[in-house]
Amino acid sequence: MNDPAATEPRFVLHPEHHLTSSAMLQDVVIGLSDGLTVPFALAAGLSGAVVSSGLVITAGLAEIVAGSIAMGLGGYLAGRTEVEHYQAEGARERREVREVPDVERAEVDELLAEMGLSADTRARAVAELTADPEQWVKFMMKYELGLEEPDPRQAPKSAATISLSYAAGGLIPLSAYFFTATPAQGLGWSAAITLVCLLVFGFFKSRMTGQPAVAGAIKMAVVGALAAAAAFGIARAVSR
């Protein structure tokens, strides 16, 4: 349940191929980060409160299903909203360019002034940028609103990738409870397996985004461990 808007630096203006090639990997990362942490912590929490591994597994599977649907479907609808938003903003800019061209021309001039261009150069640039209405609208969308045209096929792909990654991530910590007799044994194995996975995953995630990899691995494991410890504490306190 990280905030991917903050997780992934926003390479909004990079060439399209850069965005699409890493989009799937980013979705896997989003799904795995949450999938490895939350079901692990929930199962750990319940291990301190119930006597049956079956209950831990039931709750864990319910969480995995709930989480992966909420993430996947939520992501899908959000992607659709992004496409609609882009189209609505595009229509608005197109109308403004047609109906209040002077206002829009002043906005182009203001953007160019912010970049640091002189009044002289701006006058020439504004004339060129506003010569073709389609190009003008594209300029406003990208540089005034900071909006890139979203790929409509991206939303369902993203949703499926995030959903499956969350489920895959969640089944790793939960699997330990399948093969052990008591919740306490399950917790031991679950914690060992999951912390190793969090370290490996944090390492490669940081490598991918160009951050210090060892520090990234440790941070990821610490988040998981803290979430699990807190869940354990509250479940035990409540169940007494």
Say whether residue 189 binds a second copy (CB under 8 A): no
Q: Are 179 and 198 in contact (CB under 8 A)?
A: no
User: Which of 28, 32, 42, 97 contacts a second copy by CB under 8 A?
Assistant: 42
Which is nearer to a second copy, 98 or 132 (by Cβ)?
132
Stretch of residues binding a second copy (CB under 8 A), selected from 32-40, 95-103, 178-186, 189-197: 32-40
Q: Are 142 and 148 in contact (CB under 8 A)?
A: yes
CB of residue 49 to a second copy, shortest distance in Å: 5
105 CB-side CA count, 13 A: 15
Say whether residue 33 binds a second copy (CB under 8 A): yes
Stretch of residues binding a second copy (CB under 8 A), selected from 95-103, 174-182, 187-195, 221-229: 221-229
CB of residue 102 to a second copy, shortest distance in Å: 20
Torsion of CA 2, 177, 216, 74, to 10 degrees: -20
> Please, what's the largest Cα pairwise distance for the chain?
79
What DSSP string runs through 186-230? Answer: HHHHHHHHHHHHHHHHHHHHHHHTTS-HHHHHHHHHHHHHHHHHH
Say whether residue 30 binds a second copy (CB under 8 A): yes
Q: Report the C-alpha gap between 173 and 186 in whole angstroms.
A: 9
Q: Going residue by residue from 51 to 90, which x/- string records binding to a second copy, judged by CB under 8 A?
A: ---xx-xxx-xxx-xxx-xxx-xxx-xxx-xx-xxx-xx-
119-138: which residues touch a second copy (CB under 8 A)? Answer: 120-121, 124-125, 128-129, 132, 135
Say whether residue 209 binds a second copy (CB under 8 A): yes
Say whether residue 157 binds a second copy (CB under 8 A): no
Say whether residue 28 binds a second copy (CB under 8 A): no
Q: Going residue by residue from 89 to 118, which x/- string records binding to a second copy, judged by CB under 8 A?
A: x-------------------------xxxx
CB of residue 209 to a second copy, shortest distance in Å: 7
| SS3 call for 147 | coil
What are the tokens at 15? 């060439």
**Total of chain residues touching a second copy, rule CB under 8 A:** 94
Residues in the chain: 240
Which is nearer to a second copy, 105 or 142 (by Cβ)?
142
| Range 22-32 burial, b when 16+ CB lie within 10 A, else e | bbeebbbbbbb
Which residue's entry shows tokens 């301190």? 48
